[in-house]
């Protein structure tokens, strides 16, 4: 696993001194991920140098830099951990407690009037509480990122990250809910019991096949939108990327056979949405025969890895297995999305050299573009469930917003999320008619 190594350097001012440091980095077989000047004096500049190293390999780069007469390593700055210190989210008040009158209005005795009004007409809770702007982010920690079953508490940084993205891109309050259970029914019961606190439920990083059972049961049981992001959020952004990629190479996506390697939550979600979108067919492969059967129940076809690479015009892989796709498996003109992070099933440059018409890895397909707008649009439309029309509308929107030469838009562009929310809301409202 690659991790960021962040070095704090001091380099003397003179032509070529910084270049000598970078030559040491290059000689170590490392690439510079980021270089930023953070402090300058008349004689020296302090630089923050970010590289990616293999966690297992260790790195003696500091010692090599310190051998240079004009540079030295001052220390390591673990920016990632620093940004997590104390957590990434907190609950804040919308009201300034500036006087006794404000206190009486928002708490006792004034709040009693609002409580009684909601008792009389429960719909008023949508107007006088934050329920309709609050999303539960629920996990049991069994499928955290590419790390696997590390438990719910270890998954909390991911849930806090999701909450931060909800706030930044959709003005929604995301509340992490950690459930220490692998029993699907216990999770279903727990989420159903707390559901009145929320306007929607996002299921996150729950392993297959339990995730399918849990999502299905909660959709049937609750009258608020429920979405398993690993399935449907990932599928939305993958479909958007495929629409863009096939446009770039002049292929018709709906006239294509798509091969899906890996039929976990993401793979099944992508396969299901592609079939709903109207591709000619989805061919899938997985070591788990139950997953293959599930694909067939959706209308897909099972195949071996070799058969899939032979038949598919487009290949998507979500296996977690580095280097699974060998160069000699690639056919001329294929479109390949190897989405496993941090190390894909095949490096894009290797796939292109082997004849692929287009190839990208998971760094280019970020599902943060999906879920904020999906939930904002669904909640604003007042619907109780997500539909395929809403998901496809989001995918087409993202593809249309992608700038020239890019698969998808910039995930940091707030206007993109607002537009996704708008088209999702429109699709939802159209579906209600």
Degrees to nearest 5, angle at CA 79 with 75 and 80: 135
Structural tokens at position 94: 């919308």
Neighbours of 254 (CB within 10 A): 12
Label each residue of the chain as H, E or C: CEEEEEEEEEEECCCCHHHHHHHHHHHCCCCEEEEEEEEECCCEEEEEEEEEEECCCCCCHHHHHHCCCCEEEEEECCHHHHHHCCCCCCCCCCCCCCCHHHHHHHCCCCHHHHHHHHHHCHHHHHHHCCHHHEEEEEECCCCECCCECCCCCCCHHHHHHHHHHHHHHHCCEEEEEECCCCCHHHHHHHHHHHHHHCCEEEECCCCCCHHHHHHHHHHHHCCCCEEEHHHHHHHHHHHHHHHHHHHHHCCCHHHCEEEEECCCHHHHHHHHHHHHHCCCEEEEECCCHHHHHHHHHHCCEECCHHHHHHHCCEEEECCCCCCCCCHHHCCCCCEEEECCCCCCCCCHHHHHHCCCCEEEEHHHCCHHHCHHHHHHHHHHHCCCCCCHHHHHHHHHHHHHHCCCCCCCCCCCCHHHHHHHHHHHHHHHHHHHC
Give the C-alpha separation, 94 to 412, whole Å.
Answer: 25
- Residue 8 phi/psi, 5° resolution? -100, 115
User: CA-CA distance, 26 to 5, in Å (whole number)?
Assistant: 15
- Tokens for 46? 């302090």
- Judge whether 120 counts as a catalytic residue: no
Q: Is the four-CA dihedral 195, 89, 130, 215 of positive or negative sign?
A: negative
User: What is the Cα–Cα distance from 340 to 362, expressed in whole angstroms?
Assistant: 6
Instruction: Please say if 128 is a catalytic residue.
Output: no
Q: Which of 39, 107, 124, 430 is catalytic?
A: 107
Enzyme catalytic residues: 107, 162
């Amino acid at each position: 696993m690659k991790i960021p190594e962040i070095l704090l350097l001091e380099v003397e001012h003179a032509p070529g001194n910084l270049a000598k440091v970078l030559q040491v980095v290059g000689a170590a077989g490392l690439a510079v991920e980021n270089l930023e000047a953070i402090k300058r004096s008349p004689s020296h500049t302090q630089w923050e140098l970010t590289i990616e190293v293999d966690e297992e390999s260790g790195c003696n780069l500091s010692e090599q830099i310190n051998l240079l007469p004009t540079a030295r390593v001052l220390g390591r700055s673990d920016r990632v951990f620093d940004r997590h210190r104390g957590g990434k989210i907190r609950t804040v008040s919308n009201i300034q407690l500036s006087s006794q009158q404000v206190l009486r209005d928002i708490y006792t005795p004034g709040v009693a009037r609002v409580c009684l009004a909601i008792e009389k007409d429960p719909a008023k809770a949508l107007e006088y509480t934050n329920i309709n702007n609050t999303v539960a982010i629920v996990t049991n920690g069994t499928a955290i990122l590419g790390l696997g079953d590390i438990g719910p508490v270890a998954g909390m940084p991911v849930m806090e990250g999701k909450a931060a993205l909800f706030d930044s891109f959709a003005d929604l309050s995301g509340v992490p809910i950690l459930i220490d259970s692998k029993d699907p029914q216990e999770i279903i019961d727990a989420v159903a019991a707390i559901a009145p606190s929320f306007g929607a439920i996002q299921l996150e990083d729950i392993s297959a096949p339990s995730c399918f059972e849990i999502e299905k049961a909660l959709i049937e049981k609750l009258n608020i939108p429920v979405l398993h992001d690993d399935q449907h959020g990932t599928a939305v952004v993958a479909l958007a990327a495929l629409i863009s990629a096939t446009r770039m190479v002049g292929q018709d996506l709906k006239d294509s056979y798509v091969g899906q390697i890996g039929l976990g939550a993401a793979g099944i979600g992508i396969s299901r949405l592609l079939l709903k979108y109207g591709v000619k067919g989805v061919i899938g492969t997985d070591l788990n025969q139950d997953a293959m059967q599930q694909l067939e129940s959706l209308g897909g076809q099972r195949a071996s890895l070799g058969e899939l690479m032979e038949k598919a015009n487009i290949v998507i892989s979500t296996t977690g297995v580095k280097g699974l796709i060998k160069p000699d498996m690639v056919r001329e003109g294929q479109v390949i999305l190897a989405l496993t992070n941090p190390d894909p099933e095949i490096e894009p440059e290797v796939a292109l050299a082997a004849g692929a018409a287009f190839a990208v890895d998971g760094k280019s397909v970020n599902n943060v573009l999906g879920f904020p707008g999906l939930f904002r649009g669904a909640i604003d439309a007042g619907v109780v469930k997500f539909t395929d029309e809403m998901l496809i509308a989001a995918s087409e929107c993202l593809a249309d917003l992608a700038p020239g030469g890019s698969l998808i838009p910039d995930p940091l562009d707030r206007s993109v999320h607002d537009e996704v929310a708008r088209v999702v809301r429109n699709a939802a409202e159209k579906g209600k008619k």
